[in-house]
Amino acid sequence: MASKPLPLPVFDRKAGRLIEEFMDDAPSTYESAPRRSLNQWLESHPLYDWLLAAYQNSRFSAKKIPPFIRKHAIDMSQFEPGPYRSYAEFFERRFRPGLRHFPTEPGSMGAFAEARYMGWEKMDAHQEFPVKGHSLEAARILGSATLARSFAGGPVILARLSPMDYHHVHYFDDGRTGEHHRAAGRLWTVNWHALLNKPDILFRNERHINILDTANFGRMGFVEIGALSVGRIVQVHGVDAPYTRGQEKSVFRFGGSAIAVFGEPGRWRPTADLLENTAKGIETLLRLGEPAASRE
């Protein structure tokens, strides 16, 4: 079966409507059968990522910025002003101070990234949708059966960031980081059409794995996953220092990316619209800080 571009159904919570979306980087990024795609195989190699990064950080890449803004109707008034000397600088743009807010209620978990979310109350061994079985297996994504044991039968959130998004990640609660490590790998696209055809993507890609001990939601596995063209996940906040709700945690550099979050059973639950949309195979677009889950 040949691969082909497929639209991704996304429910925009703020707009209250369903949209269909393609990621902008290249057709191969949203192919439905990446392991059958020569483009995907070549572009998943770390050398390709290094070469692309060199170009995106050059001044020559700045010419891509105005067409990208026009195509995606990005409201630049929401972001700190440039000038952006390269496409990479534009990609890492920041919101103006005070534009996004996290919930003040201790039991409400704000969205840790501006992204498209899916959520499950309980991930069990027979989970088949949208990422056949083991793609959301905590032991393989976390790289350790021991680390995953406390998350067995607990809630799960999967967030996907598109190239047009704000690519900074923030803490959703106060707490400290426990165990942490990095797992290197190739860089496959993380959209769920591709996951259906290559179900090992989430534990093959480069990952930054953190166990977060939070004040209101218990112990959590927080895994930042690099995707096609994103081999650099930069930790902005020191892992040995305590953090506070809303504080910046990390930044993904050029491309698309994903975050998988695992919780302990009975500690928290994704919001009702995430659960309902996920059951239909639809992602939910959440702005940074909007409610993503609540304490049980």
pTM: predicted TM-score of the whole model, two decimal places:
0.81
At 132, list the tokens.
């056949």
Q: Is the pLDDT of residue 36 over 80?
A: no
- Polymer length of the chain: 296
pLDDT value at residue 192? 45
What single-letter DSSP state applies at residue 95? Answer: B
Q: Which of 85-89, 181-185, 202-206 is modeled with the greatest confidence?
A: 85-89
Task: Verify cis geometry, omega within 30 degrees of 0, for the bond prior to 270.
Answer: no
Placement of tokens 């980081």 in the chain: 177
pLDDT band of residue 82 (cuts 50, 70, 90) is confident
Residue-averaged pLDDT of the chain: 80
% of the chain residues with pLDDT over 90: 48
Over residues 81-86, mean pLDDT: 90
CB 189 within 8 A of CB 160: no
What single-letter DSSP state applies at residue 128? Answer: -
Q: Is the pLDDT of residue 30 over 80?
A: no
Higher-pLDDT residue of 88, 249: 249
Over residues 276-285, mean pLDDT: 93
CB hemisphere CA count around 167 (13 angstroms): 26
The string of pLDDT tens digits covering residues 139-190 is 778 878 888 888 989 999 999 888 788 999 999 999 999 998 876 544 434 4
Q: Kindly state the helix (H) or strand (E) to which residue 170 belongs, with its residue range.
A: strand 168-170
pLDDT band of residue 61 (cuts 50, 70, 90) is confident
